[in-house]
Amino acid sequence: MGHDVLLVGSVPFDTVEDVMRNCSSALGSHLAALPDGEVGERRSWVLRLSYQVFNGHIDLETIKRPERVNGVEQLMPRSREDVWLFRVKPGVDMVRFGNPGYRLGYAKDAVNSYFVFKTLREKGIIPQGVRFQISMPMVNSVIRPLTFPEAADLARIRPGYEEAIAAELDAILSAIPHDDLAIQWDCAWEVSAVYNPPDGYPGEGDIETHTAPIGRLSQRLPEAVALGFHFCFGTFGGWPRFAPDDLGCAVELVNAAVKATGQRVDWVHIPALDRTDDAFYAPLADLDIGDARVYLGLIHSMDSFSQRLQAARKFLPDFGIAAYCGFGRIAPAEIPAILQDHKTALEIAGQ
């Protein structure tokens, strides 16, 4: 068995132990790394940060929030229109975040989840050699026009948020053995912006805008830590949030991101639509990412899986497979069937 399948991150079980037991039982021998499922409020990916971090921040003004339901406050947006929006208060040049290392919650959750991971591995439930995977949204996927609509605000918030992510990363590195650890940067807004540069946000469609923080943060990682990427077409409001004609811009971004790290990258995850035509997959031939393992997000729409697999192999003969994204916005009752789809896909792929 090899590193044939990737779990992107979120799995909507109730506890970290539930996630790790179920996923390891189904796929453990095929995994290079195992996530904690992003249980609890991380299940919503970056949406929780609006009410846990930005709302009430001394330097930010909340200009819109989700509507009440039956008179009761709602923290979680229910649609793309029912969202949190913020602006930087007048006179603030840089927004910074206190309690470094713990303000965003990633390090705290990682340390707690690693204890579960280590315990299950000691019991033989998680195979030896599988790393503990921490998936963290990249800076620009959090500080984005969808949440901060005033263009000038992005430059006032992104440096401070990058500083906060760096502190979380340092806390993780100080608490978890490096040879047990895999960090995955999640990039969704970056992909969307490169494909469809938003009007009124100068430079937001430039690849370098998005690879600069990737490079700075990745270079904080010791060599023993595995590094991966998840590039996404978005799932909020339904997948895909946008449907590109082909993988061309994604491949350009992937190449630039890997180069920006200045170090070994262990894997990149690239989503794939329900497309069987050569034109969609042809840009895969232009990947220039060294020895990084590619995982294509083909595990969905299983009736066409074989055709999509064969189409992709014309341009990239060797790759692993994955779903198009994490499962956080999928009903928990559907997860056993999705894990079975992964096993079926591995059989079809001969992996």
Tokens encoding 108: 């705290």
Decide the pairing of beta strands 85-88 and 60-64.
Answer: antiparallel
Band of residue 344 on the pLDDT scale cut at 50, 70, 90 = very high
Secondary structure (DSSP) of 49-99: HIIIIITT-TTEEEEE-PPPBTTB---S-SSSSS--EEEEPTT-S----SS
**65 in a domain, yes or no?**
no
- Percentage of the chain with pLDDT > 70? 97
Please report which helix (H) or strand (E) contains residue 137, including its range. strand 131-137
What is the per-residue pLDDT for 240? 52
Band of residue 10 on the pLDDT scale cut at 50, 70, 90 = confident
**77 in a domain, yes or no?**
no
**283 in a domain, yes or no?**
yes
**81 in a domain, yes or no?**
no
Q: Is 351 exposed, middle or buried (0-12, 13-18, 19+ CB in 10 A)?
A: middle
pLDDT at 241 over 70: no
CATH number at residue 46: 3.20.20.210
**74 in a domain, yes or no?**
no
pLDDT at 282 over 60: yes
Give the tens place of pLDDT for each residue, 220-229: 999 999 999 9
Distance in angstroms (rounded) separating the CA atoms of residues 213 and 217: 6
Average pLDDT, integer, range 233-256: 81
Average pLDDT, the chain: 94
What is the per-residue pLDDT for 51? 92
Half-sphere exposure of 323 (CA within 13 A, CB side): 22
pLDDT at 90 over 60: yes
**340 in a domain, yes or no?**
yes
What's the start-to-end Cα distance of the chain, in Å?
Answer: 7
Give the pTM.
Answer: 0.94
Give the residue, 244 or 141, on which the prediction is more confident: 141
Average pLDDT, integer, range 194-209: 97
What residues make up the domain containing 194? 5-58+97-349
Secondary structure (DSSP) of 232-249: ----TTSS-SS--SSSHH
Band of residue 330 on the pLDDT scale cut at 50, 70, 90 = confident
Average pLDDT, integer, range 54-64: 97
pLDDT at 289 over 70: yes
For residues 296-327, one letter each, b for 16 or more C-beta atoms within 10 angstroms of the residue's C-beta and e for the rest, the string is: bbbbbeeeebeebbebbeebbeebbbbbbbbb
Overall number of domains in the chain: 1
- Percentage of the chain with pLDDT > 90? 83
Average pLDDT, integer, range 291-299: 97
Distance of CA 286 to the CA centre of its chain: 23
Band of residue 1 on the pLDDT scale cut at 50, 70, 90 = very low
Give the tens place of pLDDT for each residue, 103-145: 999 999 999 999 999 999 999 999 999 999 999 999 999 999 9
What is the per-residue pLDDT for 81? 82
pLDDT at 76 over 90: no
User: Lowest mean pLDDT: which of 20-29, 63-72, 241-250, 297-306?
Assistant: 241-250
**254 in a domain, yes or no?**
yes
User: Lowest mean pLDDT: which of 1-5, 53-57, 84-88, 257-261?
Assistant: 1-5
**243 in a domain, yes or no?**
yes
